[in-house]
Structure 1
């Protein structure tokens, strides 16, 4: 790799954008990705816990639906509040706080003896889970080099598959192994609480956030660390930027609303995509183990099927990571949503083991590829001082669909069986695809 010359006259953001992907970028991605995987593991564990408790506690569909949905109520609030806090107290601090909250609440859930106590703790878990995801993607997006920014965020989202696979493994070999297996599974979910310390003290704060708060000396030090990792000498003359903190009381960067005339259309389109993909994803994957049990498969066998289907997420992310810098954000997101719609319709007609696995793997491939593209495009749509707010608000609105989906599953199954259920999921994906096509293409553009 040829060393880059000093970026004399460039802003800090431009200096970050021109760097190659270094070990320091990799460390940031890995640390954020582990937090992301732990988040996915917690969400995934719920589907297995629901299937186990439905048998052990003789719960009906309404009660099991609420175990899933109450967590998404917390996630809706957590995503919105977490995004707002990220623009006020920093991305890193909110990331660490959310890991601590949902890790401790998940561990406490292993000790409950009633449905009411479990529901209360799942709500708290949701607060942490909802706040973590949009904040992590915003932080990584603000450090990633511009030419591969979308790909790096998809790599981050790919850790979701790692976490969900871990949940499937725990579900198959821990939760399904004994009557108390679900308690041991939730106890393992305490890992994020320990990892939060690593995040708080081992990750850099966003340079763009630091600048927006007048902490320019800290921002300069952070940029220079990334330049040193790339073998680039710091410029002798940055583009008229101070290297000392702004004095107390200095005017803050002018703010803008996500509902301003310049941002309103993209906000509405992004919210529609978030709603459609959340409704179909969580309606499908939270319920798959339980639906398989109802079709006559044993608890262990249904968990094995879910594990196989989950593995298909990895190639979906790989394809999205490649295409997002080749095709662009909008075409990649739209194509993967269309593929998700077709796969959902196919899954609704699946009856044999081979068809269930094939259709499930196809749905897993396209659906998670779409998630990767969505997380990549979200932070790129907003300027720095509302980036966390914009991505968090969209995620929060999407979590409303996450709340509704598990509750709607029993009603749709009763009205028309699996064909109607997955037909509705296919329609939600299709509507999201139309909205995705109206989003502005941000490939190769600098963050505002």
Structure 2
């Protein structure tokens, strides 16, 4: 029997699988960094460009994906996105003749999403809020500018953009550069691999931790705790000399950076009404992708200038402070200002 509880569980499971595969693909370049650097004789500055070029496509994908999802539905755009990044990952595996293991990285990252697409077509439901909104008589579309900045949302939108930008700058810098930074500090490849694994385990737990804390604790205290923890973890990565303290710092960095991202993804959707929610969140994620491009590129430039790992990590600290203060300003706003209705622009729209 197809009960609502069973459908909810199935939807969560499918979204979890997609997120897992996306995470694998996002880290593929960082995992392959050593092989890329050796095969193409890349210096840190050039490798930074490689990482940033790989992430650049995320920006238009995030913005236009949200904009299109508000018009044709969340399910269709999600399935199309998974199909495309699976196909392009397979194409990437054929671009260069690296070692067998490095080919394997992109092949697995390409085949896995293609295998999930049929399950999504058959089992993933469309958003109920979107279906209800689409069935409203007399519904009219509003412009992207009004969606992002109208009805008192300008301050919230700009604050979200700042927090997404600086948080994803650090997150993608770590995703792409952590193994190379560890090698720069004198750790061996197996040791760097161990710290990277602990970083990923910490990231998985961090997502759960962020959600749990937001459900049970004051949002401002959660943000302060998460971002303070992230700053401390980055200091640990920059200053640790032995494997044990570095492993602990790497685990903590993954834990807190993913918790920070979870906090942002949880707080952005309620800031926009259903009719423009995907557009608003997509725009914030797109701005975050600018940070994800800037992070690896800036890290390469700083390393090439001779600043070392500590210099790279120290340069991220002011941005994280700005990100924390920005998202706190969103939390602190009255609920009536965070999620205003669309009555003025759309009389037929349901009340929030």
TM-score bracket relative to the smaller structure: 0.7 to 0.9
Deviations 1:410-440 (A, max 9, x none): 2223252222211112222111111111013
1:394 to 284, 295, 298: 284
- 1:257/1:113 CA distance change after superposition, 3 Å: same
1:33 to 10, 13, 16: 16
For the 8 Å contact 1:330–1:439, the answer to whether it is kept is: no
Map 1:61-140; keep pairs closer than 5 Å: 61-113=44-96
- 1:50/1:392 CA distance change after superposition, 3 Å: same
CA–CA separation in structure 2 for the residues paired with 1:110 and 1:443:
49
Determine if the alignment matches structure 1 residue 209 to structure 2 residue 130: yes
Query: Which deviates more, 270-279 or 415-424?
Result: 415-424
Determine if the alignment matches structure 1 residue 417 to structure 2 residue 305: no
Deviations 1:68-104 (A, max 9, x none): 1112210011000101001011100000000000000
Equivalence for 1:403:
293
Map 1:15-414; keep pairs closer than 5 Å: 22-113=5-96, 179-190=99-110, 191-214=112-135, 250-252=138-140, 256-413=146-303, 414=305
CA–CA separation in structure 1 for the residues paired with 2:184 and 2:39:
15
Q: For 2:253, what is the secondary structure of its paired residue?
A: helix
- 1:210/1:84 CA distance change after superposition, 3 Å: same
Of structures 1 and 2, the larger Rg is shown by 1
Q: For 1:324, what is the secondary structure of its paired residue?
A: helix
- 1:363/1:417 CA distance change after superposition, 3 Å: same
CA–CA separation in structure 1 for the residues paired with 2:220 and 2:66:
23
The Cα of 1:200 is off from its aligned counterpart by 2.5
CA–CA separation in structure 1 for the residues paired with 2:236 and 2:185:
17
For the 8 Å contact 1:75–1:399, the answer to whether it is kept is: yes
Equivalence for 1:9:
none
- 1:442/1:196 CA distance change after superposition, 3 Å: farther
Give unmatched runs, 5+ long, in structure 2. 340-351
- 1:342/1:350 CA distance change after superposition, 3 Å: same
Deviations 1:97-121 (A, max 9, x none): 000000000011111128xxxxxxx
The Cα of 1:444 is off from its aligned counterpart by 10
Q: How many residues align?
A: 333
**Which has the larger share of helix?**
2
CA–CA separation in structure 1 for the residues paired with 2:172 and 2:161:
16
Give unmatched runs, 5+ long, in structure 1. 1-19, 115-177, 217-245
Query: Which deviates more, 438-447 or 375-384?
Result: 438-447
Q: For 2:9, what is the secondary structure of its paired residue?
A: helix
Query: Which deviates more, 48-57 or 293-302?
Result: 293-302
For the 8 Å contact 2:46–2:300, the answer to whether it is kept is: no
TM-score normalised by L of structure 2: 0.87
